[in-house]
Homo-oligomer: A and B are copies of this chain.
Amino acid sequence: MAVIAPSRRVRRTPFSDGVAAAGVKGYTVYNHMLLPTVFRSVEEDYRHLKEAVQVWDVAVERQVEVRGPDAGRLMQMLTPRDLRGMLPGQCYYVPMVDETGGMLNDPVAVKLAEDRYWISIADSDLLMWVKGIAYGFRLDVLVDEPDVSPLAIQGPKADDLMARVFGDAVRDLRFFRFGWFDFDGTQLVIARSGYSKQGGFEIYVEGGHLGMPLWNALFEAGKDLDVYAGCPNLIERIEGGLLSYGNDMTRSNTPHECGLGRFCSTQTAIGCVGRDALLRVSQEGPVRQIRAISITGDLPTCDRAWPLMAGKTKVGQVTSCARSPDFGTNVAIGMVRMTHWDAGTALKVETQDGTFDAEVHEEFWI
């Protein structure tokens, strides 16, 4: 296994010292920044995430700040989700598409004020697209990457840990709502959200200097809660059907292919640059779509798209896969053509180490 080469270009985060001290064993790079992928082992991290509480350095979820009189107009240009009902204090999961309806990112938008948003991005330089559109349409808006680094608290004991550091009011946060909470004299945005199905929060740490003090405060407060460093867990996110931009979807895919049609209201999302391109697919549905797939056998690492075959015909591909201890099978995310996407369909998956049996499922596991 090759090591990851350090350089300034692959940016450290405000929490990197804590991550290293916790014994991180693997990294990936995400938005030109280090993202931990494993601490003890992927299986141990998985079990611990489901039973205790973890602190995740997800500073890689960089923010694109959109601010100014045209902020709302610009936001609606970026997504086929109708944003008219969005209020300050809300988070929206917003598929972002280009003029062809292709996915550019699948961020969470945070509405700070009527004229101010953060877009908490997946792995692509969405800032460049937003700046290009803002410039091309001469919008009165500022677009920039602020010094904001999310820290996620995930797991069944997340509420208990957070209450000890931020007070009991944090327990009252509803899903995908945020509030302002004090840490060391600074008001921080905290949302009930996160990239797991175990529940928890994301703290938008505004100001890198607060990173390690907050990290340390959480670990100090959570000693008897078995708090530990964690990171988005490959097994758990696949069990939960949490998609990963760049893995399970790319610019080639529409939101509808990604199963994100429920977040789109293309008819009424007036101003969205991809609206014309998406109107038809939003009414008729896509010809291929994301599906839960189980695969039997001793599989290699899924480091590339694996073709899904029905006989000699390619009918889709698997893009994320992991062995699930809880479900006793390989859980996977794939995209399958309409002709073969019904639950129970038996397919073959071609990996770099041979062909294995696969089956399409109705739903993800958790």
Contacts and interface: CB of A to CB of B under 8 A. Distances in A.
Contacts of A27: 2-5
Nearest to A131: B98
A1 to B, nearest CB: 4
B129 A32 contact: no
Nearest to A321: B8
A6 B129 contact: no
Nearest first, the 10 A-B pairs at minimum CB distance are A136-B136, A132-B132, A9-B246, A29-B29, A125-B125, A6-B303, A5-B37, A128-B129, A128-B128, A4-B4
A28 B98 CA distance: 28
Contacts of A131: 98-99, 129, 132
A299 interface: no
Contacts of A130: 132
A327 interface: no
A145 to B, nearest CB: 8
Main SS of the interface on chain A? loop
Nearest to A138: B136
A304 B34 CA distance: 12
Interface of A: 1-10, 12, 24-29, 32, 37-38, 98-99, 104, 123-126, 128-133, 135-137, 244-247, 273, 301-305, 319-320
A250 to B, nearest CB: 9
Given A7-B302, A98-B131, 18 more contacts: A2-B26, A3-B4, A3-B27, A4-B29, A5-B38, A6-B301, A7-B303, A7-B320, A9-B244, A9-B246, A12-B303, A32-B123, A104-B128, A124-B125, A124-B128, A125-B125, A126-B128, A129-B129
A247 B128 contact: no
Nearest to A273: B135
Nearest to A137: B136
A37 B9 CA distance: 13
8 contacts: A4-B4, A4-B26, A7-B303, A8-B303, A8-B305, A8-B319, A129-B129, A132-B136
B29 A10 contact: yes
A135 B135 contact: no
B123 A132 contact: no
A273 B136 CA distance: 10
Contact of A25 (B2, B8, B304): B2
B32 A5 contact: no
Nearest to A20: B2
Nearest to A145: B251
Nearest to A34: B2
A129 B5 CA distance: 28
B99 A320 contact: no
A17 B312 CA distance: 25
Given A125-B124, A136-B135, A10 B32 contact: no
Contacts of A98: 131, 135
Given A126-B128, A128-B128, A99 B8 contact: no
- Residue with the highest number of chain B CB atoms closer than 10 Å, among A25, A247, A303, A320: A303
A3 B29 contact: no
A50 B253 CA distance: 45
A12 B129 contact: no
Contacts of A273: 135
Contacts of A319: 8
